[in-house]
Amino acid sequence: MLFMLIRRVLLGGVTVCIVSLIIFSGVEMLPGDACTQFLGEYQADDELLAQCRKDLDLNRPAIDRFAEWTQGAVSGDLGLAADGKTKISTIVGDRLKNSLLLAFCAMSLGIPLALLLGVISGLWRDRLPDIIASTLAIFAMTIPEFVSATLLILVLSIWLGWLPGIVLTSAAAPSSEFFPEILLPVIVLSFVMCAHIMRMVRSSVIDVMASDYIQMATLKGVPYWQMVFRHALPNALLPAINVVALTIAWLLGGVVVIEVVFNYPGLGRLMIDSISDRNLPVVQSIALIVASIYVCVNLAADLLTMIANPKLRTMYMRKQ
C-alpha cells in the first residue's frame, strides 16, 4: 500500500515536471517576448530592446531561466510579472484564494445535490422524479454556461432583485466580503457540475440495482431502504469518485466563462487578462498551478477509490 502510494506520488511529480517543461518551452517558442510587448513600436530600436531584456533578465539562456523558475516555484516564489516589479505570488495568491472559495461553495452545494438526484432518479428509473431530474440535467449540460448565467442574472437579480448580479469586490478583499455576490455564480456552477455527476450516478445506480447481488439481497428478505444503503449505494457511488474529482479539478482550475460573466476575480480571469497583456510569466505560473491541481485531485480520487473498493484495497494489502 505504502509502496503504491509512493509510486503514485512520484509519478504525479514527474507529470508536473513534464507539464512545466512543456509550458516553459511553449512560451519560449512564441514570437516576441515581454520586451517587444512592453516597448511596442519602440522595439525597432535594438539598443532599447537589448537594455530591456537585460533589465528583465531575458538575455540568459532559456535552460538557465527554466532552472531558476522551477527552483523558485518549488519554494513558492513564482518570480516577477512582466512589468518586472510585481511579485507573481501576490497576484496569483489572491486569485487562487478566490477561486478556491468559489469552488468550495459550488462543491458543497453541487456534489451532495448531484448525488441525491442521481440516486433518486436511478431508483425511480423512468418514473416522474427521474424524468424531471434527467430532463433538467440535459438542459444544464446543453445550454452554454453564459446563457444560463445571463438568464439567472435577469430573473434573480434584475426582475426579482434578490441577489446582486455581478461581483464588485476587489480581488484582494477578504473572503467574507464576497457574500452575497458569490451566490449567483455558485448557483450556475452547481447547476452545470450537478448535471454531469448526476447522470453518472444515475446510470451506475441502475446498473447496481439490476445486479445479481441486489436480487439476492431482495430474496434474502432485506428491507428495501436497508438494501439501498447497505448493498447498493456503496457500490454504486464508487465510479462517481472519479467524475467528482474531474469536476473539482475543473472548478479549481478557474472557470473562465463564469468568472467573466460575473466579473469574479478568480484564476480564470487572471489567465485571460494575462494572455491578452502578454504577461507570460503569469500565464506560465497559472498553467503550472492548474496542472498541479489536476494531478493532486486525481491522485486523491484514485487513492479514495482504492480505499473504498474492497477489491483494490485487499489487492494492495495482500501484496505487502
Q: Which residues contribute to the site for other proteins (CB under 8 A)?
A: 3, 7, 210-213, 215-223, 230-231, 234-235, 309-311, 314
Nearer to other proteins, 13 or 180 (CB): 13
Shortest reach from residue 222's CB to other proteins, in Å: 7
Q: How far apart are the first and last CA of the chain?
A: 7
User: DSSP of 281-305, one letter per residue?
Assistant: HHHHHHHHHHHHHHHHHHHHHHHHH
CB of 45 vs other proteins, minimal distance in Å? 55
Contact 34, 79 (CB under 8 A): no
Measured from the Cβ of residue 292, the count of other Cβ atoms closer than 10 Å reads 17
By beta-carbon proximity to other proteins, the closer residue of 95 and 231 is: 231
Segments of 13-170 assigned E as strands:
none
Closer residue to other proteins in complex, CB, 3/139: 3
Which letter, b or e, does each residue of 44-57 get, where b requires 16 or more Cβ atoms within 10 Å of its Cβ? eeeeebeebbeebe
Of 67 and 315, CB closest to other proteins: 315
- Closer residue to other proteins (CB): 189 or 236: 236
Residue with smaller CB distance to other proteins, 231 or 269: 231
For other proteins, the closer of residues 242 and 309 by Cβ is: 309
Least distance CB 2 / other proteins (angstroms):
12
Shortest distance (Å) from residue 12 CB to other proteins: 16
Q: If you ran DSSP here, which 8-state letter would residue 175 be given?
A: G
Angle between helices 128-142 and 88-123 (to 10 degrees): 150
Q: Closest distance between other proteins and the C-beta of residue 17, in Å?
A: 18
CA distance 191 to 251: 13
Alpha helices in 30-87 (DSSP H): 34-39, 46-55, 62-74
Residues 307 and 184: their CA atoms lie apart, in Å, by 36
Contact residues for 170 (Cβ-Cβ < 8 A; gap 6+): 265
Partners of 80 in beta bridges? 87
Question: Of 46 and 212, which has the nearer Cβ to other proteins?
Answer: 212
According to DSSP, the residues that pair with 87 across neighbouring strands are 80
From the CB of 210, what's the least distance to other proteins, in Å? Answer: 7
Give the shortest CB-241-to-other proteins separation in angstroms: 14
Q: How far is the CB of 320 from other proteins (least distance, A)?
A: 12
